[in-house]
């Protein structure tokens, strides 16, 4: 009799445990469904809105047209991992070094012409690239996969090495391209280069000196970025083509300058979100130069911020120079040329 009671109690215990486990499983599934529905809703309804154009940026862009009479033609580099990469070649003198020149957000190689010309006159060979998703490396605003820009810069560097054997190489980038230069400096591909120059670099949203919405230049869909990041961590990348940021690009620039970035393009073009850890990985000589009249970033805070988080990276302020002036103003270009020569020949 006692054995039968024991079996009955054990059976009831198993039934109770089974019912509890079943309820927990149902609750977990329900929570996952709710979470998935929330993620899908965030992905669908959080399209970033384009900010209005910034007058000072557009004035400098419009004045650029007067300097383009000697703009080199587009060349295309066949790469192993996608459509050909567009660039403009500015010849230099043998032994002076090679610069890979990277434009900023929504830009292309044309806007880098004044700086590229100044570097070329100083004897440096310049490859001014249209990053994938920009300019002549279409389609605008997107890439094929996360990490494709890193592969592009590596292939361009290897091509430059084959064309100019023995020459030392730099990456020089402006704005978001400055952040990409820092990203490359912190990557395993940094060994291809003698050094890096970041001009008015965008580092991160929470980096000291970053103004709200980058001074009105960018409008970010934070909810969509969070939702897509969650999906990415579960290995779901099918929605990474969706736009997550819109730039203050005028309607008249449609088809020439991209107004939005997809999730995977923004992630790949940017300095890592764990930027303090990324700074610690930078070993090659790296310099930051920024105009003290920058409209998008608080330039006055940059020297202190870099001393705190990246003390090995010196920061130079160029008096009276704006954000776009860092690549268009002869005063700024003179500083960049001198810095590039120093890095290449020290």
Which among 197, 149, 200 is positioned nearest to 172, based on CA atoms?
197
Average pLDDT over the chain reads: 90
When mean pLDDT is compared across 92-106, 111-125, 210-224, 312-326, the lowest value belongs to 210-224
Q: What is the pLDDT of residues 210-263, one digit of tens each?
A: 998 889 999 999 999 999 999 999 999 999 999 999 999 998 887 789 999 999
Q: What is the pLDDT of residues 298-309, one digit of tens each?
A: 999 999 999 999
Total-model pTM? 0.86
Res 160 pLDDT > 80:
yes
Q: Where are the domains of the chain?
A: 1-45, 55-345
Res 35 pLDDT > 90:
no
Q: What are phi and psi of 339, to 5 degrees?
A: -65, -40
Res 14 pLDDT > 80:
no
CA angle 180, 184, 189 (to 5 degrees): 155
Direct distance between the N- and C-terminal alpha carbons of the chain, in angstroms, rounded to an integer: 94
Name 144's Cβ contacts closer than 8 Å, sequence gap at least 6.
81, 82, 132
3-state secondary structure the chain: CHHHHHHHHHHHHHHHHHHHHHHHHHHHHHHHHHHHHHHHHHHHHCCCCCCCCCHHHHHHHHHHHHHCCCCCCEEEEEECCEEEEEEEEECCCCCCCEEEEECCCCCCHHHHHHHHHHHHHCCCEEEEECCCCECCECCCCCCCCCCHHHHHHHHHHHHHHHHCCCCCEEEEEECHHHHHHHHHHCCHHHHHCCEEEEECCCCCCCCCCECCHHHHCEEECHHHHHHHHHHHHCCCCCCCCCEEEEECCCHHHCCCCCCEEEHHHHHHHCCCCCHHHHHHCCCCCEEEEEECCCCCECHHHHHHHHHHHCCCCCEEEECCCCCCHHHHCHHHHHHHHHHHHHHHHC
- 194's tokens: 């003698």
Q: Give the residue, 66 or 151, on which the prediction is more confident.
A: 151
pLDDT given at position 124:
98
Tell me the CATH architecture of domain 55-345.
3-Layer(aba) Sandwich (3.40)
What percent of the chain clears pLDDT 90, i.e. is strictly above it? 76
When mean pLDDT is compared across 66-70, 79-83, 299-303, 312-316, the lowest value belongs to 66-70
CA angle 111, 258, 110 (to 5 degrees): 15
């Amino acid at each position: 009799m006692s054995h039968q009671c024991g079996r009955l109690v054990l059976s009831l215990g198993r039934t109770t445990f089974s019912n509890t486990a079943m309820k927990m499983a149902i609750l977990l599934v329900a929570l996952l469904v709710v979470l998935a529905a929330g993620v899908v809703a965030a992905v669908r309804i959080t399209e970033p809105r384009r900010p209005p154009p910034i007058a000072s940026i557009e004035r400098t862009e419009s004045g650029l047209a007067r300097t383009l009479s000697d703009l080199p033609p587009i060349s295309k580099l066949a790469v192993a991992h996608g459509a050909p990469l567009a660039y403009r070649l500015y010849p230099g003198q043998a032994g002076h070094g090679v610069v890979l020149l990277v434009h900023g957000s929504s830009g292309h190689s044309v806007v880098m012409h004044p700086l590229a010309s100044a570097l070329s006159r100083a004897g440096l060979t310049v490859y001014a690239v249209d990053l994938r998703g920009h300019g002549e490396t279409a389609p605008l605003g997107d890439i094929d996969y996360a990490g494709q820009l890193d592969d592009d810069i590596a292939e361009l560097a290897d091509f430059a090495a084959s064309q100019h054997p023995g020459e030392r190489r730099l990456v020089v980038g402006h704005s978001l391209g400055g952040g990409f230069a820092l990203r490359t400096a912190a990557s395993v591909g940094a060994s291809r280069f003698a050094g890096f120059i970041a001009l008015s670099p965008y580092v991160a949203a929470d980096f000291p000196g970053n103004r709200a919405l980058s001074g009105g230049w960018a409008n970010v869909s934070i909810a969509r970025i969070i939702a897509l990041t969650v999906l990415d961590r579960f290995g779901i990348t099918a929605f990474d083509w969706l736009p997550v940021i819109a730039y203050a690009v005028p309607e008249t620039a449609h088809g020439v300058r991209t107004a939005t970035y997809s999730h995977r393009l923004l992630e790949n073009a940017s300095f890592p979100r764990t930027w303090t850890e990324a700074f610690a990985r930078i070993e090659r000589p790296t310099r930051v130069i920024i105009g003290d009249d920058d409209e998008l970033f608080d330039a006055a805070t940059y020297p202190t911020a870099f001393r705190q988080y990246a003390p090995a990276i010196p920061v130079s302020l160029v008096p009276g120079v704006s954000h776009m002036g860092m690549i268009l103003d002869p005063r700024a270009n003179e500083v960049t040329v001198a810095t590039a020569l120093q890095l290449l020949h020290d």
